[in-house]
Amino acid sequence: MMPGKEDILVPYADMKKIFSEILLKQGFTEDKAGQCAEIFTASSADGVYTHGVNRFPTFVSYIKKGYVKPAAEPSLKNSSGSMEQWDGNLGPGPLNAIAATDRAMQLADQSGIGCVALSNTNHWMRGGTYGWYAAKKGYAFIGFTNTIANMPVWGGKDKKLGNNPLIIAIPYKKEAIVLDMAMSQYSIGSLQQAKMKGERLAVNGGFDADGNLTNDPAAIIGSKRPLPVGYWKGAGMALLLDMLAVLLSGGLATHEISSKQAEYGLSQVFIAIDLSKLHPASSMNNILEAIILDYHSAEKADADGRILYPGERILATRKRNLEKGIPVLRAVWEEIGAL
Amino acid sequence: MMPGKEDILVPYADMKKIFSEILLKQGFTEDKAGQCAEIFTASSADGVYTHGVNRFPTFVSYIKKGYVKPAAEPSLKNSSGSMEQWDGNLGPGPLNAIAATDRAMQLADQSGIGCVALSNTNHWMRGGTYGWYAAKKGYAFIGFTNTIANMPVWGGKDKKLGNNPLIIAIPYKKEAIVLDMAMSQYSIGSLQQAKMKGERLAVNGGFDADGNLTNDPAAIIGSKRPLPVGYWKGAGMALLLDMLAVLLSGGLATHEISSKQAEYGLSQVFIAIDLSKLHPASSMNNILEAIILDYHSAEKADADGRILYPGERILATRKRNLEKGIPVLRAVWEEIGAL
């Protein structure tokens, strides 16, 4: 989003410092507070406000309620070589996810591919964080998480599926190409943000109270029936990702998480592949450049439209927000100021 | 589909025998002809006619044109432990894909997870084949392929993306739960079949010649603009799956395959995870049964509707087709009879 009238612009360093100070008050070590503050700030700088600055107050409330345990660290449960199971011990989701990504990359260093499945962890905030992180170190990355039930099954009315985001990331010219895709047409965060700004969605994003498709975010939040990506297809994929996350991690399924009072104790999977064993970096960039050149050469459906690859818009947003400050809704920033 | 007026019912054993005899005439060994005939027949028995019996004449024409080489077998290009690159040497796509799945399972036996990337191979027909195959042997399976360009980029008019199917499969009670998902809302095969039967699609599946969304399969085949699953999301995922298949296999990208006279020389990825190292089979079935019980308990949007998990409908279709014979369009069966 471009900064709006209701936004204030917060410099990156200031936001990170404020987040870090709040987390220190919540019992984080200096090191962990800094790492966590960095992740929330970087997501905000990348324009993913819904899982950055807008979500920070909820994260702090989960610490206060004891769902997120600041000092907890993941512990190894089971190893079969290139595949490991870890218990997240309800530590901070972003820190557990970084640790799991690091470990998957170590396993990939040893034998080409590594998979870490993490049970009993917390919301990882922006899934793309771990894709950018691994890809910028030269690894291909596939990751997914389950969530609380927030999406109906296909042909059903009540929430039974998580919107279980899937991340696929690839290194490209010292940056990355990153797909960060929730299984609902719009993430809950995007629906909330559109509602907060009084905007309509670009395409239908769910059902209204009468069961008709609509692009009104408030109606969809009201009915609790966001549309799965591709109707039955995204619903099916959400189910399979939940099953896979649960079987690989030995953790809780969406229906079990949903029976608790809040969304904690999630199951996640992190797969890293060491591309340096397969290609020199230069040849990899050439291969991807040729694909992107062809992709960008498509005849536009709209003369004014833009054809972008996943993650491409983020590079421009990041540049702007680093230069001019990160736009934050005044109400959100005031709430954070009071923490 | 239920058998229609224009269909004849072919017993499984007869179909397999006829396919096998045709392939023997095309230079397949007895063993390979039988294996390939089995795959085409099993897909048809499962109701995936578009990638079974309906596609068989095209498969034979590709052999005659030299795109598919009956005697070729995959050869190892590169190994980094749990991750291997193989060259498909333009052998029959289904046989190469079975060999790659077998090898990924062997690697998973050694160290929990195995990944085989296959370059220079041919159309694997029904992607679900390899998911059912691996899952029935106790492995979780993730696989994907690139294809010729058959889908527009988001915001673009001309075909630039493949519909690059993604398969996720999990063992369940001696059968499997299998997601077999092309990145277009409808696979090309489904569009062709609906057109052949004069049917409309259940939801909009692409654009007409004027750029408007439509559920008329003939208009979509005409405009060559099928709708990606979830609009920009499926388009982005198709791009990432192509990039990943190419980087992992060292094979051709969609834009390179599309510059040839026909769809051959594809890039594919097969990932297997040995679940027996993580759970006893009985506990795995209990975990999945609880998820499915909750899923099936959703309040129906339509009193007459059914709520099915991916692959559930196939079990009923398979049972019916094994008992009563596989329904085949008369014109298709006559074409096969003349091969």
Q: Is the pLDDT of residue A3 over 70?
A: no
Pick the residue of B115, B254, B291, B304 with the most A CBs within 10 A to test the interface with A by mutation: B291
Contacts of A295 in chain B (CB under 8 A): 153, 160-161, 239, 255
Q: How far apart are CA B228 and CA A81, in angstroms?
A: 38
CB atoms within 10 A of CB A64: 10
CA separation for the pair B91, A279 (Å, rounded): 25
Contact call for residues B261 and B217 (beta carbons, < 8 A): no
**CA-based nearest distance A200→chain B, Å:** 17
| CB spacing of A140 vs B115 below 8 angstroms | no
- Residue B181's φ and ψ, nearest 5 degrees, are -125, 110
Contact B237 A181 (CB under 8 A): yes
A-to-B residue pairs, Cβ atoms closer than 8 angstroms: 249
Check CB contact under 8 Å for A253 and B154.
no
Per-residue model confidence as pLDDT tens digits over A304-317: 889 999 999 999 99
- List CB contacts (< 8 A) between B237 and chain A: 166, 168, 179, 181
Kindly give, in sequence order, each residue whose CB lies less than 8 Å from that of residue B50, ignoring residues fewer than 6 positions away: B187, B188, B189, B190, B192, B193
Distance CA A297, CA A41 (A): 34
Whether residue A5 has pLDDT greater than 80? no
- Report chain B residues whose CB lies below 8 A from the CB of A237: 168, 179, 181
Radius of gyration, CA atoms only, chain A: 20
pLDDT confidence band for A2 (50 / 70 / 90): low
CB A100 within 8 A of CB A268: yes
Q: Which two tokens stand for residue A324?
A: 């001019």
What's the whole-number mean pLDDT along residues A154-162?
A: 92
Per-residue pLDDT of chain B (339 residues; tens, 9 = 90+): 566 677 899 999 999 999 999 999 999 999 999 999 999 999 999 999 989 999 999 999 999 999 999 999 999 999 999 999 999 999 999 999 999 999 999 999 999 999 999 999 999 999 999 999 999 999 999 999 999 999 999 999 889 999 999 999 999 999 999 999 999 999 877 888 799 889 999 888 999 998 888 999 999 999 889 999 999 999 999 999 999 999 999 999 999 999 998 999 999 999 999 999 898 888 999 999 999 999 999 999 888 889 999 999 999 999 999 999 999 999 999 999 999
Q: Are the Cβ atoms of A244 and B274 closer than 8 angstroms?
A: no
The answer to whether the CB atoms of B82 and A82 lie below 8 A apart is: yes
- Tokens 């950055």 belong to A52
Q: Is the pLDDT of residue A1 over 60?
A: no
Q: Residues A183-228: pLDDT tens digits?
A: 999 987 788 879 988 999 988 899 999 888 899 999 999 988 999 9
Whole-number Å distance between alpha carbons of B119 and B115: 13
CA distances from A107 to A103, A110, A272, A273 (A): 6, 5, 8, 9
Spatial neighbors of B182 by CB under 8 A, at least 6 apart, are: B163, B164, B165, B188, B229
Q: How far is CA B258 from CA A190, A211, A291, B150, B265, in A?
A: 36, 42, 12, 9, 10
- Cα–Cα distance, B130 to B126 (Å, whole number): 8
Residue-range domains of chain A with CATH? 1-64+308-339 (1.10.1530.10), 75-184+234-281 (3.30.1370.60), 185-227 (3.30.60.50)
A307 and B254 within 8 Å at the Cβ level: the answer is no
For residue A83, give the nearest of A106, A56, A63 by alpha carbon. A106
Report the chain A residue with the minimal C-alpha distance to residue B285.
Answer: A247
Residue A161: list chain B partners with CB under 8 A. Answer: 295
Q: Specify the pTM.
A: 0.97
Chosen for mutation from A107, A224, A240, A252 (greatest number of chain B CBs closer than 10 Å) is: A240
Q: What mean pLDDT do residues A257-276 have?
A: 96
Chain A residues within an 8 Å CB radius of B181: 230, 233, 236-237
- Average pLDDT of the segment spanning A137-151: 97
How far is the alpha carbon of A336 from chain B, nearest alpha carbon, in Å?
32
